[in-house]
Amino acid sequence: KNILLQPAREWEVIDGEAETIGGLYRRYIIPLAAIPAVAGLIGMLAFGFSVMGFTYRPSVGSAVASAVVQYATTLIGVFILALIIDALAPSFGATQNRVQAFKVAAYSGTASWVAGIFAILPALSWLSLLGLYGLYLLYLGLPRLMRAPQDKAMTYTILIVVAAIVVALVIGAITAPITATFMRGF
């Protein structure tokens, strides 16, 4: 909660926490990353989704399979993003530290995961845009956790966002045929 309401202060607390990558996944990433997948599953089953005036209601099996793929790709995406944050650190005068990079990737994703709750109601799904607050969290977290100089933090943030978009597109291209198969097959 504090990462959303008092991010500058909370990054200081997070910086000092002794953590492991596995611990971050177990205690933080796995539970929070489930929010959009579960909310989307409930919304899909309860309301379906509309495209150009047509509403499609997937079967339970298709919806569950789609949610599982979404959840798995989120967990993989955090892993890849953390590796990118760590790998780019020296280019921006920051310190390479894989655990700190995972903290940045995990905690900056908080806003997006929490905003994913709005996927339950299609009429409110536009509120998922509140998850973009995570970009600001990323910008605040990089100087603190990765020791990036403040004058390079914006460029570092922008490059990570571009990399995250590319990763999302690649993951989407790989998983789209899988998800489409589930949507037709169950």
pLDDT digits (tens, 9 = 90+) for 17-31: 999 999 999 999 999
Q: Give the confidence band of 83 by pLDDT, cuts at 50, 70, 90.
A: very high
What secondary structure letter does DSSP report for 57?
-
**pLDDT of res. 185:** 54
Does position 168 have pLDDT exceeding 70, yes or no? yes
**pLDDT tops 70 at residue 186:** no
Contact of 148 with 93, CB cutoff 8 Å: yes
DSSP H helices in the chain: 2-5, 7-16, 21-24, 30-47, 60-88, 98-108, 110-115, 133-145, 150-185
Element (H, E) at 162: helix 150-185
Burial letters for 75-94: b for 16+ Cβ neighbours within 10 Å, e otherwise?
eebbbbbbbbbbebbeebeb
Residue 97 lies in a domain: yes
Residue 34 has pLDDT above 90, yes or no: yes
- Check pLDDT > 70 for residue 183: no
Q: Does residue 103 fall inside a structural domain?
A: yes
Measured between alpha carbons, how far is residue 117 from residues 40, 108, 128 in Å?
8, 17, 8
Q: Locate the DSSP E strands across 6-80.
A: 49-51, 54-56
Is 2 part of a structural domain of the chain? no
Place of tokens 């949507």: 183
Total number of domains in the chain: 1
- Is residue 4 situated within a structural domain? no
Q: Is residue 31 part of a domain?
A: yes
C-beta atoms surrounding 60 within 10 Å: 11
The amino acid occupying position 35 is I
**Can you give the pLDDT at residue 119?**
87
pTM of the model: 0.88
Round to whole Å and give the CA distance between 178 and 180.
Answer: 5
- Note whether residue 9 is domain-resident: no
Please give the residue range of the domain that contains residue 157: 16-185
- What's the pLDDT score for residue 72? 94
Residue 95 belongs to a domain: yes
